[in-house]
């Protein structure tokens, strides 16, 4: 399954256009524009599996850096500041990674 099986390619493109400039990524806005904030729990879990590049069951800081590229291979890399902000928003136990059970926290940042 690919991300475009769950999210509209045009919504993904619009979300990526909105955050093209470094340090312009807003998780909440990205999730709204891409349509992620409107998806069911099962769809969010599938998106999580797609974002979990190494299939470890967690999304770590290294994977978050390439977050936008999971939506489109030519997208930019998140800046260190953007990556840390995104991680901090969803890593409520402070272990440096986001587990599948935290997907709703991740989307509702």
43 occurs within a structural domain: yes
20 occurs within a structural domain: yes
pTM: 0.88
> How many C-beta atoms lie closer than 10 Å to residue 41's C-beta?
10
Query: 52: annotated binding-site residue?
Result: yes
Query: 18: annotated binding-site residue?
Result: no
Query: 93: annotated binding-site residue?
Result: yes
Q: Cα separation of 9 and 100, whole Å? A: 24
Q: pLDDT tens for residues 48-97?
A: 999 999 999 999 999 999 999 999 999 999 999 999 988 888 887 888 89
37 occurs within a structural domain: yes
Counted domains in the chain: 1
Query: 54: annotated binding-site residue?
Result: yes
Check whether 109 has a pLDDT greater than 60: no
Q: Domain of 94?
A: 6-106
With cut-offs at 50, 70 and 90, classify the pLDDT of residue 34: very high
1 occurs within a structural domain: no
Query: 23: annotated binding-site residue?
Result: no
The structure tokens listed for 31 are 């999730």
Query: 97: annotated binding-site residue?
Result: yes
74 occurs within a structural domain: yes
**Which CATH number is 10's domain given?**
1.10.238.10
State mean pLDDT over 33-49. Answer: 91
In the chain, what percentage of residues exceed pLDDT 90?
67
């Amino acid at each position: 399954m690919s991300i475009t099986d769950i999210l509209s390619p045009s919504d993904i493109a619009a979300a990526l256009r909105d955050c093209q400039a470094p340090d312009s990524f807003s998780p909440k806005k990205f999730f709204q524009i891409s349509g992620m904030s409107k998806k069911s729990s099962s769809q969010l879990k599938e998106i999580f599996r797609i974002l979990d590049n190494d299939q470890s069951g967690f999304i770590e800081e290294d994977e978050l850096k390439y977050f936008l590229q999971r939506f489109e291979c030519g997208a930019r890399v998140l800046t260190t500041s953007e990556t840390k902000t995104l991680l901090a928003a969803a890593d409520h136990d402070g272990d440096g990674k986001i587990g599948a059970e935290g997907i709703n926290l991740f989307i509702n940042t």
